[in-house]
C-alpha cells in the first residue's frame, strides 16, 4: 500500500511540475507580446505626430530604426526580415517608460513603403470619398512598423507588425 501511495505521489508531482512550466511559458509569451505591442504603439505615435525624414544614406543608422522605401531599388522585401535586432544602431529602442518583468527593452523599426495617389470622387457620384477632397488628387503615405519584444527571458520572442497610412 505504501508503494502504491509513493507512485501516486511521484506521478502527481511530475504533473504539477509540468503544469508549472507551461504556466511560466505562457506568462513569458504574454510579457513578450505586451512589450512588442508597446514598442509598436511608440513607432505608430512617431508617424502620427510628425513623420521623420527618411534617407537612403541613413537606413537604420544611429539607432533611428528608419528605413527608406521598400520595393524600390535593391530592397524588394521588408528590412524587418534581415535587420539585426540586437544592434543598437540598426533599430530604435523603446524609451517611453519602464516595463517590468521583461528581460530586454523592446525594439522597433519603421519602413517607408511606396506612396500612392488617390483621386477624390466627384461630388454626388457615389464613389469613395476616402481622400476627403472631392475631385482632387491626394498622396497617401504608407509605413510598416515592426516591433520585437522579449518576455522574462530572451527565449520568449514576439514580433508584431502594422501598416500605417498617413
pLDDT per residue as tens digits for the range 98-124:
888 899 999 999 998 888 887 765 555
> 40 is in which domain, residue-wise?
2-165
Query: Average of pLDDT values for 26-52?
Result: 93
Q: Which three cell numbers stand for residue 110?
A: 519603421
Q: Global pTM?
A: 0.79
Query: Is residue 31 scored above 90 in pLDDT?
Result: yes
Given a contact cutoff of 8 angstroms between Cβ atoms, the answer to whether 145 and 92 are in contact is no
Query: Is residue 23 scored above 90 in pLDDT?
Result: no
Query: Average of pLDDT values for 156-166?
Result: 93
Query: Is residue 86 scored above 80 in pLDDT?
Result: yes
Burial class (CB in 10 A: 0-12, 13-18, 19+), 34: middle
Question: 3-state secondary structure string, 121-133?
Answer: CCCCCCCCCCCCC
Domains: count for the chain: 1
Amino acid at each position: 500500500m505504501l508503494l502504491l501511495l509513493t507512485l501516486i505521489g511521484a506521478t502527481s508531482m511530475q504533473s504539477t511540475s509540468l503544469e508549472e512550466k507551461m504556466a511560466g511559458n505562457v506568462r513569458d509569451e504574454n510579457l513578450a507580446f505586451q512589450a512588442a505591442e508597446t514598442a509598436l504603439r511608440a513607432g505608430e505615435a512617431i508617424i502620427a505626430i510628425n513623420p521623420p525624414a527618411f534617407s537612403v544614406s541613413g537606413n537604420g543608422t544611429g539607432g533611428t530604426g528608419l528605413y527608406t522605401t521598400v520595393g524600390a531599388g535593391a530592397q524588394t522585401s521588408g528590412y524587418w526580415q534581415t535587420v539585426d535586432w540586437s544592434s543598437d544602431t540598426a533599430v530604435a529602442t523603446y524609451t517611453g517608460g519602464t516595463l517590468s518583468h521583461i528581460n530586454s527593452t523592446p525594439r522597433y523599426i519603421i519602413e517607408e513603403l511606396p506612396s500612392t495617389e488617390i483621386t477624390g470622387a466627384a461630388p454626388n457620384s457615389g464613389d469613395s470619398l476616402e481622400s476627403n477632397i472631392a475631385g482632387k488628387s491626394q498622396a497617401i503615405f504608407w509605413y510598416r512598423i515592426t516591433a520585437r519584444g522579449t518576455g522574462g527571458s530572451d527565449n520568449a520572442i514576439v514580433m508584431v507588425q502594422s501598416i500605417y497610412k498617413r
